[in-house]
Amino acid sequence: MMSSIALNELEASAAARQLQRRAITAEQLVRACLDRIEAREPAAQAWTHVAADAALEHARELDRGPIRGLLHGLPIGVKDLFDTADMPTSYGSSIYAQHVPAADAAAVALSREAGAIVLGKTVTTEFATFHPGKTHNPHRSGHTPGGSSSGSAAAVADYMVPLALGTQTAASVIRPAAFCGIVGYKPSYGSIARAGIKSLSESLDTVGAFGRSVADVALFVAALTGDQRLLDLGDASGARIGVCRTHEWPQADADTQATLQQGSAMLARAGALLVDVQLPDPLSLMVQAQIDIMAYEAARSLAYERICYASSLSSELSAVLTAGMAISAAQHHENLARTARGRKEIDALFFGCDVLIAPSAVGTAPAGLESTGNPIFSRMWTLLGLPCVHLPFAKGAHDLPLGLQIIGRFGADHKTLQASHWAHQQLRANESS
């Protein structure tokens, strides 16, 4: 029996099941998403390019043929940091306004191989840094959707597409997921191939996914990595969860502090074993290490743009690159060594708990489009390479979304997703009761 939910509002995992059974067609789903884009894009401004005709033709081709893979018939948005051979790719910069790459990024090619339909390219900040794009928060126009994966998060939150690709170098998956009220998943560093993505920081850049449930992002990343274990979300009741306020806790606003406490209480009542976790003092240095490593590596990754197109760069990016060029190679190597020590310190915490929970952002999405918000609550986890999942379940100022993030041990993405799936079920049940 067909669901009464509009097709574009189906969670990706639910849509995938219907597509696999041929209960709906890919063309029907694509048309529903395109209709939503037509209705909402003037306000949301989530896309840089929508390939409507090509998407419909691909959908009809999939409907005529066999089931292609885990993502068969699912429309996706692709952050405009990923190369696409059949669509413009500008990396959020006027320097590349007319650029069409020769090949797809690996993640895009793998998505297509698994049966996904690329609906178009979503807005990114300039080279995935801090200068915002045009996108508005779908929950409240005039508020930021976060960055740098601004358009991807907004498009999923606004029911334009069930899944979207993003990247995270500081907080570019978790923070927009938090501001837009959807699930964002940053896998363990190196899990998904980065070939064909405009590089910002070799030590930090990580491909991530946006969806409306944990099952959605698990499905997407399982298709991209070939790790079928991620599809088994099982039952994580009784999970040992460490409540980690982090050294940055004083920067969290009252809404965020209350949300972490509220979420912790909900999970404890549902049967989780909660314990307060204090981070070792050396980990207080991780945020600054991330800032310095990102700046040093960005100044070199963007050397061509810095040298040849300096006048085309924003003041925000120019400041990052200038700071990066002022950091010596010796300082950079010490930052990398400090990071390696930090990874050992954090790994030891997971002997006493399965996952950690922590704030995702300082608060709700700030007003204005001049900034994408403070990345402070994701910098350390990105530097340490750990898997992170944002779980939306609450509301704060201006009725904007709030939630928390679950952090797992490096490489323990399956366990992290299982705990996240269970936790999100409990948090959403409490939210709706």
Q: Which residues are catalytic?
A: 79, 148, 172
Tell me how far apart the alpha carbons of residues 210 and 216 are, in angstroms, rounded to a whole number.
Answer: 8
CA separation for the pair 140, 172 (Å, rounded): 20
Other Cβ atoms within 10 Å of 53 Cβ, number: 9
Report helix, strand or coil for 191. coil
CA 182 to mean position of chain CA atoms:
9
Residue position matching structure tokens 């794009």: 133
What's the gap between Cα 49 and its chain centre?
Answer: 20
Measure the CA–CA gap between 226 and 70, rounded to whole angstroms.
10
Dihedral pair phi/psi, residue 290, rounded to 5°:
-65, -45
Angle CA 299–303–304, to nearest 5 = 155
CB atoms under 10 Å from CB of 399, counted, come to 9
Q: Other CB atoms closer than 10 Å to residue 11's CB: what's the count?
A: 19
Query: In DSSP terms, which residues pair with 211 in a beta bridge?
Result: 183
For residues 82 and 127, is the Cβ–Cβ distance under 8 A? no
Name, in order, each residue with C-beta under 8 angstroms of 173's C-beta and a sequence gap of 6 or more: 149, 166, 167, 184, 185, 186, 206, 208, 209, 210, 388, 390
